[in-house]
Amino acid sequence: MSAGKDIPALAVTGLSHAFGKREVLKSVTFQIKPGERVALLGLNGAGKTTLFSLITHLYNHRSGVIRIFGWEIKDRPAEALSRMGVVFQQPTLDLELSIAQNLAYHAALHGLEREAAQERAVREIERVGLGDRLHDKVRHLSGGQRRRVEIARALLPGPRLLLLDEPTAGLDIASRQFLLDHVAKLCREEGMAALWATHLIDEVDPDGRVVILHRGRILAQGPVAEVIRQTGAADLRAAFDALTQMPKAEEDA
């Protein structure tokens, strides 16, 4: 199946999930086109990490459909996952290994040939400004530098969809801005699709698209300006507050 322009990079349809009797996602539906960076905006506990766990096939979803460039994740997981790179909320680098060793290990897991893997590692680590630190242990890097390495690592296999779960948690302003700019550039110049989960409104591109998730439901989605207009708010923060402070009975209506 080709990854043509008319095929969404990510299509989630009617996705619901529960842990026991506790329903954490309820009929979630949205799409991301190639070249888009979409913000998944929600408070802590909204269901963002569960949604990511389902998209990345860490959990099996019970109802609904997840397609990555047309490949259904349940039926064709290898084809779907090979087109996706992930930066998880919790750091996953080995602190005792160097940057190069961390990247080489990830490349080997994805079956990349050694020479090609080394070339890609150098390219990606230079693009995040750490070319001179390639042989340094991860332990000696700052939090922002470690996040840069995780993005470089996610891009090694050449994915066309990038998922980032609260990637700026605990970072300073400069590190946050670097990650935002880097991912935006990947989308703009290379046609990468990205789903950026955050609880920080200032990480949402005012000219981009947003999906507002609250208590497992999507309350609004679309261009930021349109979401603001539909809620009659002055800005996205006011729109978000108005939506998420809606009485629960009205949400469930």
Q: How many residues are there in the chain?
A: 253
| Same domain as 54, residue 104 | no
Contact 192, 161 (CB under 8 A): yes
| Same domain as 125, residue 63 | no
Q: Residue 209 — φ and ψ, nearest 5°? A: -110, 150
Per DSSP bridges, beta strands 217-223 and 84-87 are unpaired
Cβ neighbours of residue 5 closer than 8 Å, sequence gap 6 or more: 33, 34
Q: Maximum CA pair distance of the chain?
A: 58
| Same domain as 139, residue 29 | no
- Residue 246 pLDDT: 66
| Same domain as 28, residue 41 | yes
**Last residue of a domain, which of 124, 158, 192?**
158
| Same domain as 253, residue 173 | yes
Distances (CA, A) of 107 to 86, 89, 179, 193: 14, 21, 22, 21
Number of domains in the chain: 2
**Last residue of a domain, which of 109, 128, 158?**
158
Distances (CA, A) of 8 to 30, 95, 113, 224, 226: 10, 36, 29, 20, 21
| Same domain as 74, residue 185 | yes
| Same domain as 139, residue 24 | no
> pLDDT tens digit string along 5-25?
589 999 999 999 999 889 999
> pLDDT tens digit string along 116-170?
999 999 999 999 999 999 999 999 999 999 999 999 999 999 999 999 999 998 8
State the amino acid at position 96 in one-letter form.
Answer: E
- CATH number for the domain including 64? 3.40.50.300
If pLDDT is split at 50, 70 and 90, which confidence band does 36 have? very high
**Last residue of a domain, which of 113, 142, 158?**
158
| Same domain as 142, residue 125 | yes
Q: Residue 111: which domain range?
A: 92-158
Q: Work out the burial of residue 37: count CB atoms within 10 Å of its CB; fewer than 13 is exposed, 13-18 middle, 19 or more buried.
A: buried
- Alpha carbons 103 and 101: distance in angstroms, whole number: 5
- Residue 59 pLDDT: 85
| Same domain as 177, residue 154 | no
| Same domain as 174, residue 194 | yes
| Same domain as 132, residue 37 | no
Q: What is the mean pLDDT of residues 31-60?
A: 94
| Same domain as 65, residue 175 | yes
C-alpha 148: how far from its chain's center? Answer: 14
